[in-house]
Amino acid sequence: MPELPEVETVVRSLREPLVGRCVESVWYDWAKVVKTPSAEQFTARLQGQTFHAITRRAKYIVCQMDQDLFAVHLKMTGRLYVSETDHPGDRWVHLRVRLDNGLHLCFSDARRFGRVYLINDMYEIAPNLGPEPLEADFTADILRERLNGRHRQIKALLLDQSFVAGVGNIYADESLYRAQIHPLRAADSLNADEIIRLHESIRHTLELGINHEGASINWYRKPDGERGESQDYFNAYGKEGQPCTRCGQPIVKIRVAQRGTHYCPNCQPEK
């Protein structure tokens, strides 16, 4: 599933072709692609509205329209891109928005897990999202307060969107590797220095992912169809059996919170 860097890459790529454009019409071939309201109401309400801003909240792409928020969650295989034609040669396009300049905003999803929403506030669909890890108010002190009293495994906690928004399996592994923290450590067992390292590592790892425009491991592609390059810079995720870039010991894969988890047992000891 695309995580914060992938979604942020999509957001930044869509601003130029969308902001200021008005919706002329909406087409869909599968009503369930619209989660709320009904597909018919979605079409009627969106038509005639203008895109004013494209932002991100956690893993949601959020378009500020005249009266509504047009939100998209890509899930596993979703893609959102602008096409010059209403027949982009993509057989998985389930929603298409025609713009006033003749271009089309296309939502494509092979597995049909992704959804679009037309809402008044993000709270309607995601009431329990945690803080944004790249915002200035997400400090090491805030992280320490949120860790306090939580005995869950730190990897599982990082995957919890109510704890911190936007971090998923890939960037949790990379953050813990950089911070030299074992993924099975109890969250409330981290000392002050480890919390500072983890805070810095989360922010650094996500910023690096954005700089390299996301990780194209499976389905993710940028809106222009090109691959992101983040996967070329991973130290832990997907590196099972390969030598650690710090110590040379093999990277190990285990399961945490039902997710494949990669770490170096030498650099990330289980204390």
Which pair of structure tokens corresponds to residue 238? 């997907």
pLDDT score, position 161: 98
Fold agreement between 4-124 and 140-263: no
Average pLDDT in the 125-144 region?
98
3 is catalytic: yes
155 is catalytic: no
* Active-site position among 131, 227, 259, 265: 259
Average pLDDT in the 150-176 region?
98
* Active-site position among 2, 5, 183, 223: 2
CATH domain 140-263 topology: Helicase, Ruva Protein; domain 3 (1.10.8)
CATH domain 4-124 topology: N-terminal domain of MutM-like DNA repair proteins (3.20.190)
Residue 131, judged by CB atoms within 10 A of its CB (0-12, 13-18, 19+), counts as middle
Delimit the domains of the chain by residue range.
Answer: 4-124, 140-263
**pLDDT per position as a tens digit, 194-228:** 999 999 999 999 999 999 999 999 889 999 999 99
* Active-site position among 6, 45, 56, 59: 59
Average pLDDT in the 87-91 region?
92
pTM of the predicted structure, to 2 decimals: 0.96
259 is catalytic: yes
Cβ atoms of 64 and 55 closer than 8 Å:
yes
111 is catalytic: no
